[in-house]
Amino acid sequence: MPDQADIYPTFMEKRALITGATSGIGRATALRLAALGYDIVATGRRTERLAALRAQIEAAGGRCTILAFDVRSEEEVRRLLGPLDGIDLLVNNAGLAAGLEHIDAGDTADWDAMIDTNVKGLLYVTRTIAPKMVAAGRGHIVNIGSIAGTEPYENGAVYCASKHAVHALSQAMRADLLAAGVRVTEIRPGMVETEFSQVRFHGDRERAARVYDGVEPLTGDDIAEAIAWVVQLPARMNVNDLVLMPAQQAGAYYTVRKPRP
């Protein structure tokens, strides 16, 4: 076994912990924050992707620690994140949608995956990291929510419920951590073209592509740029809730689709 100091190196610069960093918003955020000078702790389930992310960050002169585990496991979260010190920024990004059916036809395994990842995983990670921020009297937690957190839509009952929970948790966390000097921000995007829809449709790439037909969606880089802006604001400022939409989308039920040229 490697020495713990080799797994959890101590750096003087700011450290950012990003969950779900193997693709999409999480990966883009890791790269963007590394460019700002953050030492990155990147987590996810796919070891090979984490290794590729670390190599890219280190090639650009940054520093990155990778931890491969599933946030749905409280034991793994506590064992692997518990020893971490000096986390200035936590980005709770790990999340997914699974399935798109009416409530009477939903797959309960999909429901478990969404609730266990989107809600319980966020709670496990926050419960492990937040006490250290409170003890330090500083820190910033960014939760990646969704417009589904305030706009429920047909066929998305459980996913919407999980993101409603993230919205409520973000507001309550802001109140709970206020006196400790720990900032809390929720970022709620509309359409973002990542692997999100491929996961939702269990690998059906053709069906996933149709979600964005005729729309120029946001990208993972767009959300990462918003996170970078939020965390660079003066300490006297806090963005409680930031909603980001493609120009062609005004809400869950309002999207203008244009024919492809």
* Beta pairing class for 249-251 and 254-255: antiparallel
In angstroms, the CA 199 to CA 207 distance is 11
In angstroms, the CA 14 to CA 87 distance is 7
Catalytic residues, by residue number, are 159
What lies within 8 Å, CB to CB, of 236 at 6+ separation is none
Map residue 21 onto helix, strand or coil: coil
Map residue 141 onto helix, strand or coil: strand
Map residue 261 onto helix, strand or coil: coil
In angstroms, the CA 19 to CA 28 distance is 12
Give kind and range of the element (H or E) at residue 110: helix 108-114
At 110, list the tokens: 């999909």
Task: Convert 146-196 into a string of H (helix), E (strand) and C (coil).
Answer: CHHHCCCCCCCHHHHHHHHHHHHHHHHHHHHCCCCCCEEEEEEECCECCCH
Query: Which one-letter DSSP state was computed for residue 130?
Result: H
Cβ atoms of 253 and 153 within 8 Å: the answer is yes
* Beta pairing class for 140-144 and 183-189: parallel
The β-bridge partners of 40 are 16, 64
